[in-house]
Amino acid sequence: MSEFPVSYRNRARRLPDRAAYDHEAVFAVLDAALVAHIGYVVDGQPFVTPTAFWRHGTRLYWHGSAVSRMHKAQAAELAVCVTVSHLDGLVLARSAFNHSLNYRSAMVFGTARPVPEADKAAALDAFMERICPGRSAQARPGSAAELRQTAVFYLDMEEAVVKTRAGGPHDDPEDLGQAVWAGVVPLAPRVGALEPDGPQTMPAPGHWAQAEGSAFDQVFRALQPSPGP
């Protein structure tokens, strides 16, 4: 089982039993998410930008506008922290202190670099295939002008850590008689009924049309084409 190295950046200080560093655990959390929160620093000021991303092996990709702040900062290499989180439930305990959340989160550390112009079109095709397998053969491809407006970044994962919590409250034995309801309020993002944009000549993408009511993260994780390198 491959593991990411552990440094001062990704070592879990608190509740280390909730942490994992192996590729499989990190990929499972990343592949269940479409959006990451990317942190970077410009002139000492932190910025956190929510951004759609995709993964190929230990490389993460995302795209943005060629006029964005991040793109301008990334003329040079840029240290980033890419964080993904899933909120799975509220954990209501019998004591205030033992209240918690159920979640899965991943923090990834690395250096963001621009994808070379010659590789941008293929990278963006891979993103569309990630969201909608088969779609890059149907949608009108990007023109040269459109590609120029799009910046694509990648990051090779240097370090990463996953933290998870699941299950019911962990109450102290002396609190079990407390007169208060205790348990979990489960939360999950769910796929709604597809909304066609006017009359359609083609059927809706099957993996989304058939997913109505399903948990988005499970459907999306199952679409990830490759288990990694």
Sequence-separated (6 or more) residues with CB below 8 Å from residue 24: 1, 2
52 near a second copy, judged by CB under 8 A: yes
Nearest-CA neighbor of 160 among 202, 109, 226?
A: 109
The CA distances from residue 15 to 18, 92, 108, 165, in Å, are 6, 19, 18, 10
Q: Which is nearer to a second copy, 188 or 227 (CB)?
A: 188
* x-or-dash string of contact with a second copy, 16-35, rule CB under 8 A: ------------------xx
Q: Is 214 in the site for a second copy (CB under 8 A)?
A: no
Closer residue to a second copy (CB): 23 or 94: 94
C-beta separation of 59 from 110 below 8 A: no
Q: Which of 57, 119, 138, 226 binds a second copy (CB under 8 A)?
A: 138
Name the burial class of residue 228, with classes exposed (0-12), middle (13-18) and buried (19+) by CB atoms within 10 angstroms of its CB.
middle
- Cα–Cα distance measured from residue 167 to residue 138, given in angstroms and rounded to the nearest whole number: 43
Determine the interface stretch with a second copy among 20-28, 53-61, 181-189, 221-229 (rule: CB under 8 A): 181-189
Under rule CB under 8 A, residue 94 binds a second copy: yes
Site for a second copy (CB under 8 A): which residue of 73, 105, 164, 224? 105
Contacting residue, 25, 29, 30, 38, with a second copy by CB under 8 A: 38
Q: 60 to 79, contacts with a second copy by CB under 8 A? A: 65, 67-69, 79
Pick the stretch among 17-25, 54-62, 163-171, 221-229 that binds a second copy (CB under 8 A): 163-171
Cβ-based neighbour number of residue 123 at 10 Å: 20
14 binds a second copy (CB under 8 A): yes
Q: Is 160 in the site for a second copy (CB under 8 A)?
A: no
- Do residues 66 and 149 lie in contact, with contact meaning Cβ atoms separated by under 8 Å? yes
* Contacts of 115 by beta carbon, 8 Å cutoff, 6+ apart: 61, 123, 152, 153, 154
Whether 190 and 213 have beta carbons less than 8 Å apart is answered as yes
**Interface size with a second copy, residues (CB under 8 A):** 93
Q: Which of 56, 113, 136, 221 binds a second copy (CB under 8 A)?
A: 136
Q: Which of 75, 97, 118, 173 binds a second copy (CB under 8 A)?
A: 97
Beta partners for residue 50, in sequence order = 37
What CA–CA distance (Å, rounded) separates 222 from 208? 12
CB of 72 to a second copy, least distance (A): 9
Q: How far is the CB of 86 from a second copy (least distance, A)?
A: 9
